[in-house]
Copies of this chain bind each other. A is one copy, B any other.
């Protein structure tokens, strides 16, 4: 693949930082320029060798840039695009790492309406509850999925470029319509995060929280791991994707209402059948995920 001469990463945290480290390790980038909200974070990223330099501003950052990754919380995407739009060159390929796509795409149309050819929305399915450039590592995307939700206006060459860059990071790339993307991730990612945050919050507010947490064990540890995630990032995801998320939450509330009825009537037979169906589905999925976490459906 052609070398990236100047890579611009907006948001040098776990996602943006790992992207830069992966391309650097692959020897596919000459210069990594960082830009973001807080100077301290950018300086830290530079000190860690995640980026080579800190941009003075968007004019400076985009001057001669051939590839831009927007890796900020989705709630900031609109403002970021507004700030960069005046300086965006015609040949610069732009993509994002937003966990939601409908809202990011709306921001793209609002801010880049006149040159949509090279702005390709995407979502790398990777992360950790750790945040910041300190948490970044080159292999984060290895065997992970990256979903592209291309626009009708995108140049095929730009979509191909974004695909090959992510593949160079070790990811398995696939294309999905934006609305399908947002519904799928509301179900398998956004809802579980909401449920985990909710359970820990519920217990943390109890008078006997200390006692409860004192007896929580490894099942609780794994169930609530994602409640250690970034509150700001998840606020933005929940707000941006709230319609599909509400639909998933309501379907889950119906499931819980059914479970509640089985408990009330002490219907052990139906409970066991439901648990067995869940167990079987979970074991089949677990095997497949273990054998190939990046497997493309």
A residues bordering B, Cβ < 8 Å? 75, 125-127, 144-145, 147, 180, 184-185, 187-189, 191-206, 208-232, 234-236, 238-239, 242, 245-246, 249-253, 255-256, 259-260, 263-264, 266, 268, 271-279, 281-283, 285-286, 288-289, 293, 295-297
Contacts and interface: CB of A to CB of B under 8 A. Distances in A.
Contacts of A192: 199, 219-220, 223-224
Contact of A221 (B191, B203, B214, B286): B286
A126 B215 CA distance: 11
Contacts of A252: 198-199, 202
Given A223-B196, A246-B264, A272-B235, A188 B216 contact: yes
Contact of A249 (B180, B218, B260): B260
Contact of A202 (B214, B255, B272, B279): B255
Contacts of A193: 219
Contacts of A224: 192, 282
Contacts of A281: 200-201, 203-204, 209, 213
B212 A187 contact: yes
B203 A188 contact: yes
A279 to B, nearest CB: 6
A145 B278 contact: no
A256 B255 contact: no
A251 B202 contact: yes
B226 A242 contact: no
A256 B249 contact: yes
A268 B249 contact: no
Contacts of A184: 208, 211-212, 215
Given A191-B199, A199-B191, A263-B242, A145 B279 contact: no
A217 B125 contact: yes
A204 B293 contact: no
Given A189-B216, A246-B263, 6 more contacts: A189-B220, A192-B219, A198-B259, A202-B255, A242-B263, A249-B260
Nearest to A220: B188
